[in-house]
Homo-oligomer: A and B are copies of this chain.
Amino acid sequence: MSDVAAASGVSLKTVSRVVNGVGYVSAETLETVQAAIEQLGFRRNEFARQLRQGTTATIGLVLEDVADPFYSVLTRAVEDVALAQDYLLLSASSAEDAARSRRIIESFSSRGADGLIIAPARGTDPAFLQAELDAGCSMVFVDRPVPGIRADTVLADNRRGAASGAAHLIGHGHRRIAFFGDAASVYTATERLAGYRDALTAAGIDHDDQLVVMAVPHAEGNAAVIDSVLDQDDPPTAIFAGNNRWSVLLLRHLKARGTRPLPAFLGFDDFELGDVLDPGITVIAQDPAAMGQLAAELLLRRVSGDDRPTQHIQLETRLIARGSGEIAGPFTARPSSAS
């Protein structure tokens, strides 16, 4: 900047005024300085600016894995909001590892992120997050809350969504519905399991633990686990996949087994090509883009000083019937074909 000042024969401060477009600068000087800036290829050093001003116009996003379509869509939505408001977005995948997640958050924080959007990894230490919050870093949690932390959350209505899914299967004549969910330590997984159980209870169906698998989808040995569920004496006639990772895994496995007749299938969270498969896959769709957008807007409001009470936004899910969830089960009420 001092080079520019020297080149255009004005003081440092005047160049600063031109760069920032604040204060009084004559048209003539403005032109001279802008020409010098152009010619020297000057760009403001953001570190110095941020050091001086204290504001960074940066937010961070920490989620499980960008490569997961759910999170990548969410990321893109956050990006768009950030860009529209001239914020820079830092993002990184925690890989569902609390230590890695902590490293990322510390790194973002020491880089002066004004706020963070976090999909907390299981095992995240609430005390650590609280310390960051106390240090003045706003946070919005997406997809999952952190127990004991008072901060805004944007969550899907996992429990009711899962209940409506299970009810849908029950309505199509199923009583033995297998549920495959993520590890029980994952918030969404237990919420969805609870929803599934709600629906069973409401329909007067006993819970059968033989039908429930709670495990990280990509874990070793899951193929054997799936087989053991499908091959039991009184096998399930319908399958409820608790997230899109499980959906893909189960569909792949079902195809490989060539299981016939095909059990009814319903997945939590939509996925690409779910409509192209035959039958189309019935899903409880979430809206990751809306989740990201809402979280980002909420965070940016917080960052700009909005200190209204903590908000907990719950996004409704939507059942999309495409065929697989409408495969009739043995308890289907038939109009009168029995007579």
Tell me the A residues contacting B by CB distance below 8 Å: 41, 43-48, 50-51, 56, 65-69, 72-73, 75-76, 79, 83, 88-93, 100, 103-104, 106-107, 109-112, 131, 135, 248, 251-252, 255, 271-273, 275-278
Contact = CB atoms under 8 A, between A and B. Distances in A.
Contacts of A251: 273, 276
B51 A45 contact: yes
Given A110-B45, A271-B272, A276-B255, A66 B79 contact: yes
A224 B28 CA distance: 56
Contacts of A67: 69, 72-73, 75-76
Contacts of A277: 273, 276-278
A100 B112 contact: no
Contacts of A135: 41
Contacts of A275: 252, 255
Given A43-B109, A45-B51, A109-B43, A92 B89 contact: yes
B83 A47 contact: no
A282 to B, nearest CB: 15
Given A47-B56, A83-B103, A251-B276, 11 more contacts: A46-B111, A46-B112, A66-B66, A67-B69, A76-B93, A79-B92, A79-B93, A89-B91, A252-B276, A277-B277, A278-B278
B112 A45 contact: yes
Contacts of A45: 51, 110, 112
Contacts of A72: 66-69, 72, 75
Contacts of A90: 88-90
Contacts of A272: 69, 248, 271-273
Contacts of A50: 47
A57 B110 CA distance: 13
Contacts of A83: 92, 100, 103-104
A104 B43 CA distance: 14
Contacts of A43: 106, 109-110
A81 to B, nearest CB: 12
A268 B281 CA distance: 24
A250 to B, nearest CB: 10
Contacts of A104: 83
